[in-house]
A = this chain, B = another copy of it.
Amino acid sequence: MRLGFDLGGTNLAYGAVDAKGTLLEKGSVALTDITPEAIVKLMVDIFQDLDPRHHFKKVGIGVPGIVSQKEGVVVKLVNLHWVLVPLVDMLQEKIALPISVGNDANAACIAEVLFGGMAGYQDAILLTLGTGLGGGVISGGKLLLGHQGAGSELGHMVVGANDVDCNCGRNGCIETFVSATALVRHYNLLNSESPVHDAKSVFDRLSNGDEAADQTLNWFCDHFATGIVNLYNIFAPEVIAIGGGVAKAFPQFESRLNHMVQSRVFSKDIAYGKIVEATLGNDAGIIGAAYLDAFL
């Protein structure tokens, strides 16, 4: 049995994960103090509470930032204002088990490849489509980390010019086209008289034949296809799974996205990876955190 933590900007989710990726127990606590010391204490408390029932053999933590997984150090975690936090060392003082810390999108990717929508593949990419666009890559059976764990920031691949800059400082990052934020913003540019406040509303209006929603989805899929074909050309994955909050709407844009992707592939002689919906939902972060050591 393994213990997985999924650290978010406001909550710490956790779960006891068995060898089949099933969550036997899970929970979530709100963060009141975001210092590393407070969060380490919270994790130790949860571990001590659950361990008597589950007898953990490993512990893993996924965090929404840049992590040097090899060194067990959170390099940069903007939401919590952490820089260079030696999280594994801090936890190791209280928990005498193998501990891993990694990026949360990497964790979700691992979970989908071990137990979810990409089970069994050796070349697989997860795109987490929420407020922004995150990514995890397993290439040739190995998790892409990059030096100091700073790789796999797939949302910050420039694919064209946009009318708004990315918060990373560049213009044209794919997450400024392909994210819940981008959907809402673009829809409201087209229909300023009746704006939406969330991506779900764009899809609801699409179902009702709304013209601006249709145009927004074309714009979204156009740039998404550009990014996906870039990833095909770079990684030649066998499968790409789409996760995150917006993935629920995947059936509403799957066929137009596939159509655009297929018309742009580099070579018709290559069988490029299919695009599927991730299957583990929010649990992927906890499950994958428990298995961060799976594809090293």
User: Is A9 in contact with chain B by the CB < 8 A criterion?
Assistant: no
Among A36-44, A110-118, A140-148, A189-197, the stretch in contact with B: A140-148
User: Is A288 in contact with chain B by the CB < 8 A criterion?
Assistant: no
Contacts A229-B170, A234-B234: A66 and B267 contacting too (C-beta < 8 A)? yes
From B66, B140, B151, A235 is in contact (CB under 8 Å) with B151
Binary interface encoding of chain A residues 149-173 relative to chain B, with 1 for a CB under 8 A from any of its CBs, else 0: 1111110111111000000111010
| A271 to chain B: closest residue by CB | B148
Copies of the protein in its oligomer: 2
Which among A140, A148, A154, A168 has the highest number of chain B CB atoms within 10 Å?
A: A140
| A270 to chain B: closest residue by CB | B150
Is there contact, CB below 8 Å, between B156 and A233? yes
Is there contact, CB below 8 Å, between A234 and B169? no
> In the complex, A153→B272 CA distance in Å?
13
Q: Write out the residue numbers on chain B whose beta carbons fall within 8 Å of the beta carbon of A264.
A: 169-170
| A142 to chain B: closest residue by CB | B142
Is there contact, CB below 8 Å, between B66 and A147? no
Contacts A170-B264, A229-B158, A266-B153: A236 and B123 contacting too (C-beta < 8 A)? no
| A267 to chain B: closest residue by CB | B76
| A135 to chain B: closest residue by CB | B234
Is there contact, CB below 8 Å, between B271 and A153? no
Is there contact, CB below 8 Å, between B123 and A147? yes
Is there contact, CB below 8 Å, between B76 and A156? no
> In the complex, A149→B140 CA distance in Å?
10
User: Is A49 in contact with chain B by the CB < 8 A criterion?
Assistant: no
Q: Which of A209-238 contact B (CB under 8 A)?
A: 226, 229-230, 232-238
User: Is A75 in contact with chain B by the CB < 8 A criterion?
Assistant: yes
| A236 to chain B: closest residue by CB | B146
Is there contact, CB below 8 Å, between A267 and B150? yes
Q: Write out the residue numbers on chain B whose beta carbons fall within 8 Å of the beta carbon of A245.
A: none
> In the complex, A215→B233 CA distance in Å?
30
Q: Write out the residue numbers on chain B whose beta carbons fall within 8 Å of the beta carbon of A267.
A: 66, 76, 150
Q: Write out the residue numbers on chain B whose beta carbons fall within 8 Å of the beta carbon of A159.
A: 158-160, 172
From B149, B151, B161, B238, A147 is in contact (CB under 8 Å) with B238
With both chains docked as a complex, state the minimum distance between the C-beta of A133 and any C-beta of chain B, in angstroms.
Answer: 12
> In the complex, A286→B236 CA distance in Å?
25
Contacts A233-B157, A234-B154, A234-B234: A76 and B147 contacting too (C-beta < 8 A)? no
* Chain A residues close to B by CB (< 8 Å): 66, 75-76, 83, 122-123, 139-140, 142-154, 156-161, 168-170, 172, 226, 229-230, 232-238, 264, 266-267, 269-273
Q: List 12 A-B contacts (CB under 8 A).
A: A139-B142, A140-B146, A147-B273, A150-B232, A151-B235, A152-B236, A156-B233, A158-B226, A158-B230, A170-B229, A170-B264, A234-B234
